[in-house]
Chains A and B, each alone.
Chain A
Amino acid sequence: MRSLPLADPGTPPTTGPGRLLWWFARRQWGIQTTGLALGITLMGCQALLPYLVGHAIDGGLTHGFGTDLFRWVAALLALGVVSSAAGALGHRYDVACWLRPAFTASELVGLKAARSGHAITAELPTGEVVSAVANDSLRIGELYANLSRFVGSVVAYGVAAVLMLRIDVTLGLVVLLGLPVVAVVLGRLVKPLHRKQAAQREASGRLTTLGADTVAGLRILRGIGGEAVFTGRYAAQSQEVRRRGVAVAGTQSWMDGLQVLLPGLFVGLLLWLGAHRALAGTITPGQLVTTYGFAAFLAWPVQNATIMLQAATRAWVGAAKVLGVLRVVPATGVRAASADSPAPGAALVDETSGVRLEPGRLVGLVSADPDEAAAIATRMGRFDDEAEAPTPVTFGGARLADLPKAEVRARIVVAEATPHLFSGRLGVELDVRGGAGDDELHRVVALADAHDVLDSVPGGLEGDLPEKGRSLSGGQRQRVALARALLVDPEVLVLVEPTSAVDAHTEARIAARLAQARRGRSTLVVTASPLVLEHVDEVQLVADGRLVARGTHDELLDGAAGARVAAAYQRIVGRRLDDEGEDDGWGAATDGTAGPDEDDEHDDVVEDVYARREGGER
């Protein structure tokens, strides 16, 4: 069997589910055809079995224990061996035909998720993307796995039809037409059952959610009590699932009974017709046995046809869902680049606000509104060409959106305020570009003051980080993300609130080292922390989306940029010193100055500053 995943998942058509399914089929026509041949062999052999058994019985009846019986038994044996082999080998091909499209679809979805930037989350809920891999891809595969049995069943039905009609036309017609009728009747009855089962599955799903939710919040629950409330709710939902289950039991048991009754009555009818014919001598006793055997056997191809119908429906739906993911347009880099990359040492400029990052500088970006500063920093990373079109950022004079995307990513790295940590070996997860030695890893871990992480992850750099770095505290996660960004060591590094969850002592240390480590390269830090700002080359103060002042931390504080700027700046960075509630203080009651009133006052000042600047320009 060819190993999966395939070396190249290929480029599927995205025009429609039918085209996609056909694309998968064409790509594996070799194994698919072999699978079909084996399916036909298996089902054909099975169709011949009742015929041979009948002949063996007749042989024994007419010639006793002799060559006639031996011949038919030998044929049965041979047929059995061929059918076993075809069954086992066919199963291997069926699995191959199933896995190849299923895994290819999964990989294509994964590839799309990995290459679309935030477009994927903007357009689809996470659950739907995961379900495209967890369910839909597998459903697509099942179509191809069931195909061989289905085609084999059609052939077997034909073989049985010919053999039965040769024995007796009436008996043949009863068998060939009666079974599908029984299947259709049972199929109709199945609908209400499916409805009730779906109702139970839904209730059961809610129960699972409730259970998972209890556990996810268990640490909190155990801290405050409320277990009884929770177990009570869980028990109520559990009993609801049970009630639904009992409702299913009613329908299900009727269905089970009918599955015995209808084929049973059918076989009874057949036996009665056949026995009278055998008695009249128009068929042999062996042919009566064959008729009985076919009645039992033919239920199988009919069932396979039903399964195929369901599989095809589900594959179609699955293909449509997978296409939903594959059609997502990446947030950046869809258009071909139209500008050449600037030479090293280019300035990065946010044209809208006027914020500039000159080569080799360490700049602090400060705003009264942290969201505003973060938004400016984020667009410097070019995360969404379409959304950022009205707020262009230039790099060495060229618009970021016009540059080759790979070039932008290689030279400019933006680490956002809530960076995501991925599960995997800590050392590998830190080293996103690959190739860093242990020394370098330890250097950036030291730089970000994250030694304690090495202790809390069993195995240190060689140890495994769980999903989202969940075993780490918030502060630890932040420092790991910082170390990761520092290790990339790009020409331009933009950090958004890199130390917001870190204690003062540590923050001071990180800030001092950051300046050292980034010497000679361009760095922009969004922060309002004086501990960081006192280490930057220049602070750029933004208000209402515009750059209003620039200077060193001390200059801005001392009024070199004007008393009003100094007051506004003092308000913002001072907030970190005085304002309790921002972090884990005692609340407003202990601090008469913090509160909404102060907010308003502060906004006024910023407005004044802004108005003055505008006026000056005019």
Chain B
Amino acid sequence: MKLPVADAATVRRYAARLLRVHGSELSRLAVLHTLGATAGLVGPFLLGRVVDAITRGTTGGYIDRMVAFGLVMVVTQAGLVRTAQRASIVFGEKVFAQLREEFVETLTALPLSTVERAGTGDLVARTTNDVNRLQHAVRFGVPRVIVATVTITLTTVACLLLSPLVAVGLFVGVPSMVLVVRWYLRRATPAYLREAAAYASINGTITETVEGARTVDALSLGSRRHATVRDDLAEAFAAERTTLRLRTVLFPAIDLTFVLAPTSVLLWGGWLASQGRVTLGVVTAIVMYAYQMSGPVWELIFWLDEIQVAATALSRIVGVQLVEADREESGERPVDDRITARGLRYAYREGHDVLHGIDLDLVPGERLAVVGPSGAGKSTLGRMLAGIHPPTGGSVRLGGVPLVDLPLDDLRGQVALVTQEQHVFVGSVADNLRLADADATEEALRRSLAAVDALDWVDALPEGLATEVGSGGAALTPAQAQQLALARLVLLDPHTLVLDEATSLLDPRAARHLERSLSAVLAGRTVVAIAHRLHTAHDADRVAVVDDGRITEIGPHDELVAAGGDYAALWHSWQHE
């Protein structure tokens, strides 16, 4: 299941809300930038005045006064620019911090089922690439766009004020430029996104090649990996060629606008001057303004491009907020710790039931092994029993209350699911444990580690509980990582545990070390173990055989063996009898 992406209207509404919320600050910024840009217009204006004054004849004192005025304006502009830029960056930081924190909060509150199904790739991409793209645009782009827009507008206004007649010459190249820029912007975003994707794919290929270097060597995949790198490079080249083609049209079109504008002002202004309608000083000023405008126009086009890309990023970030909750708290309280499933059905795709009406009563304190062939629905059943997914038919109740009607915090204190998936979070060992109980004392943390036989190695770490682990920190073995996960369970203290092949990915020796850890966690709880080794079933209180989405046999091991069904056949083959 893919995560949703917000449509343009939703993104616009979201942006509009941001603008509304921060309206007063934004207008203050706009005023500051406007004042700064106004002061910046003084150069060409003075040049024009001086040219006129010299042509007419003037005194050195006049020139000194004009230049002094100019210097005052430069100092004023510098001060205003400083204040405005500072305020913009501080504002951008504030808004963006808020936005990303909101996003991560949404992310961590996503329905369990969505997280389970969406896979991590898309979510990681949104948290890293999209957030960074947006950040780039907000941090650098928004202030630059404001400055550029204000400068272009004010420069145009200044030209019109100096002489509306002469200023007309400025606009000669504008219609063609607008057309070309529109043409360009419509194509730029997909083209640059394709480029970014192509480079990401090169990096992915190199990462895979390096990480799988042994396999590449063993299976003589060298030539094939090389060919993949070449394919990726060819795609990146094609993408580069596309964007280059776009720029080959855009660049000369804008350049020519800034060739046409001053030349037509010179010609048209020269004629007007010959008619005595304007002075050449005015023409000079407007020519200089025309040259001066090319900088902000380029900047605006550059950032429009980036802002379009940022808008796509925003649509993916806002999209996460569109995921609907998969459960609603009913406020009912369970009367006991008894879990019962009735007529349980589940379909990942509509019409394709994976579970076909399962009835199951868990006896508190029992150990139930779930066995059966791959793809029979064992893991799905486990997820239902742990309240990860709301069933698409029937119910799983805890003490009479549907599991998915319980508040999540509550649910986790009752039933927990442990899978073969492991992850050591970035942070200290204590941080990793406190995920299960934020307020746990150090004493409690140590007790939980001791219970899973992990206290010794944790104490042996350079800084004990405070040692940084996870990506970039001290490396833990898979078994140690799993021990941390088990210690979390001790802190969480649920009465029911669902183990989905929790140690199957560990190598046999690491798994052996986990034996005692596991038994400490399981003691006194109801345990459902989805297993692929039959000895697990042998020692369970009851065994449930799941085949094709149904429980075909259930009962104590000895009874099932005596009954001579599928389980018995499997057992005999395992036992070599």
List residues of chain A with CB within 8 A of the CB of B228.
424
State which of A56, A57, A589 has its C-beta within 8 Å of the C-beta of B523.
Answer: A589
Cβ of A317 within 8 Å of any chain B Cβ, yes or no, is no
241-274 of chain B: CB within 8 A of chain A: 241, 244, 247-248, 251-252, 255-256, 258-260, 262-263, 266-267, 269-271, 273-274
Cβ of A332 within 8 Å of any chain B Cβ, yes or no, is yes
State which of A3, A332, A452, A506 has its C-beta within 8 Å of the C-beta of B237.
Answer: A3
List residues of chain B with CB within 8 A of the CB of A288.
47, 50-51, 54
State which of B100, B124, B240, B379 has its C-beta within 8 Å of the C-beta of A238.
Answer: B100
46-104 of chain B: CB within 8 A of chain A: 46-47, 50-51, 54-55, 58, 60, 63-64, 66-67, 70-71, 74-75, 77-79, 81-83, 85-86, 89-90, 92-94, 96-97, 100-101, 104
Q: CB distance B222 to A276 under 8 Å?
A: no
Cβ of A173 within 8 Å of any chain B Cβ, yes or no, is no
State which of A57, A106, A276 has its C-beta within 8 Å of the C-beta of B284.
Answer: A57
Q: CB distance B75 to A261 under 8 Å?
A: yes
Q: CB distance B120 to A216 under 8 Å?
A: yes
Q: Given contacts A65-B273, A256-B81, A488-B219, are A585 and B533 in contact (CB under 8 A)? A: yes
Cβ of A267 within 8 Å of any chain B Cβ, yes or no, is yes
Q: CB distance B74 to A261 under 8 Å?
A: yes
List residues of chain A with CB within 8 A of the CB of B269.
60
Cβ of B29 within 8 Å of any chain A Cβ, yes or no, is no
236-252 of chain A: CB within 8 A of chain B: 238-239, 241-242, 245-246, 248-250, 252
List residues of chain A with CB within 8 A of the CB of B110.
218, 222
Cβ of A409 within 8 Å of any chain B Cβ, yes or no, is yes
Count B-side interface residues using an 8 Å CB cutoff.
187
Docked Cα-Cα span, A227 to B89, in Å, equals 30
Cβ of B375 within 8 Å of any chain A Cβ, yes or no, is yes
Q: Given contacts A260-B81, A261-B78, A296-B291, are A239 and B533 in contact (CB under 8 A)? A: no
Q: CB distance B108 to A417 under 8 Å?
A: no
Q: Given contacts A466-B121, A586-B519, are A114 and B535 in contact (CB under 8 A)? A: no
B499-537 vs A: 1/0 string, CB under 8 Å? 101111101110110111111111100010111111110
List residues of chain A with CB within 8 A of the CB of B67.
268, 271-272, 275
| Interface of chain A: mostly helix, strand, loop or mixed | helix
Residue among B43, B104, B211, B519 with most chain A CB within 10 A:
B104
List residues of chain A with CB within 8 A of the CB of B441.
none
Docked Cα-Cα span, A595 to B488, in Å, equals 24
Q: CB distance B435 to A230 under 8 Å?
A: yes
Q: CB distance A423 to B208 under 8 Å?
A: yes
Q: CB distance A583 to B531 under 8 Å?
A: yes
List residues of chain A with CB within 8 A of the CB of B535.
577-580, 583, 585
Closest CB of chain A to B515's CB: distance in Å?
3
Closest CB of chain B to A489's CB: distance in Å?
12
402-461 of chain A: CB within 8 A of chain B: 406, 409-410, 413-417, 419-420, 422-424, 432-433, 449, 452, 455
B109-149 vs A: 1/0 string, CB under 8 Å? 11010011001110110011001100100010000000000
Closest CB of chain B to A446's CB: distance in Å?
14
State which of A241, A260, A577 has its C-beta within 8 Å of the C-beta of B77.
Answer: A260
519-551 of chain A: CB within 8 A of chain B: 528, 530-531, 534
Closest CB of chain A to B63's CB: distance in Å?
4
Q: Given contacts A253-B85, A261-B78, are A423 and B270 in contact (CB under 8 A)? A: no
List residues of chain B with CB within 8 A of the CB of A309.
none
Cβ of A81 within 8 Å of any chain B Cβ, yes or no, is yes
State which of B92, B109, B532 has its C-beta within 8 Å of the C-beta of A502.
Answer: B532
Closest CB of chain A to B538's CB: distance in Å?
9
Q: Quick check: which of A14-22, A33-41, A72-80 contacts chain B, the rest being far away? A: A72-80
**Closest residue of B by beta carbon distance from A283:** B54
Closest CB of chain A to B22's CB: distance in Å?
15
List residues of chain B with CB within 8 A of the CB of A595.
515-516
Cβ of B178 within 8 Å of any chain A Cβ, yes or no, is no
**Closest residue of B by beta carbon distance from A434:** B224
List residues of chain B with CB within 8 A of the CB of A204.
135
List residues of chain B with CB within 8 A of the CB of A587.
514-522
Cβ of B461 within 8 Å of any chain A Cβ, yes or no, is no
Docked Cα-Cα span, A49 to B128, in Å, equals 46
Q: CB distance B536 to A95 under 8 Å?
A: no
426-440 of chain B: CB within 8 A of chain A: 426-427, 431, 434-436, 438
**Closest residue of B by beta carbon distance from A257:** B82
Q: CB distance B516 to A588 under 8 Å?
A: yes
List residues of chain B with CB within 8 A of the CB of A84.
251-252, 255-256, 259
Cβ of B444 within 8 Å of any chain A Cβ, yes or no, is no
Cβ of A229 within 8 Å of any chain B Cβ, yes or no, is yes
Docked Cα-Cα span, A314 to B419, in Å, equals 46
Q: Given contacts A106-B229, A215-B120, A271-B46, are A584 and B499 in contact (CB under 8 A)? A: yes
State which of B233, B291, B472, B540 has its C-beta within 8 Å of the C-beta of A586.
Answer: B540
State which of A57, A133, A256 has its C-beta within 8 Å of the C-beta of B280.
Answer: A57
Q: CB distance A500 to B252 under 8 Å?
A: no
Residue among A222, A276, A410 with most chain B CB within 10 A:
A222
Docked Cα-Cα span, A252 to B81, in Å, equals 11
List residues of chain A with CB within 8 A of the CB of B100.
207, 211, 238
Residue among B58, B128, B269, B532 with most chain A CB within 10 A:
B532
Cβ of A397 within 8 Å of any chain B Cβ, yes or no, is no
Closest CB of chain A to B168's CB: distance in Å?
16
List residues of chain B with CB within 8 A of the CB of A417.
507
Cβ of A353 within 8 Å of any chain B Cβ, yes or no, is no
Cβ of B205 within 8 Å of any chain A Cβ, yes or no, is yes
Cβ of A139 within 8 Å of any chain B Cβ, yes or no, is no
List residues of chain B with CB within 8 A of the CB of A245.
89-90, 92-93, 139
Q: CB distance A224 to B255 under 8 Å?
A: no
List residues of chain B with CB within 8 A of the CB of A254.
82
Q: Given contacts A120-B210, A218-B123, A239-B97, are A224 and B416 in contact (CB under 8 A)? A: yes
Q: CB distance A231 to B63 under 8 Å?
A: no
Cβ of A581 within 8 Å of any chain B Cβ, yes or no, is yes
Residue among A215, A590, A591 with most chain B CB within 10 A:
A215
List residues of chain B with CB within 8 A of the CB of A212.
124, 127-128
State which of B230, B251, B485 has its C-beta within 8 Å of the C-beta of A107.
Answer: B230
A41-69 vs B: 1/0 string, CB under 8 Å? 00000000100010011001100110001
A468-482 vs B: 1/0 string, CB under 8 Å? 101101111000000
Lowest 10 CB-CB distances: which A-B pairs, in order? A587-B519, A80-B259, A581-B515, A226-B435, A420-B212, A264-B74, A257-B82, A503-B532, A110-B229, A65-B274
8 extra interface residue pairs, beta carbon distance < 8 Å, beyond A221-B108, A260-B77, A433-B220: A80-B258, A84-B259, A121-B213, A212-B127, A264-B43, A288-B47, A289-B288, A585-B531
Q: Could you list some 20 contacts between A and B, CB below 8 A?
A: A53-B262, A53-B266, A60-B283, A130-B207, A134-B202, A212-B127, A218-B120, A222-B110, A226-B434, A227-B108, A227-B109, A231-B101, A264-B77, A265-B74, A268-B67, A276-B60, A422-B225, A504-B573, A583-B533, A585-B531
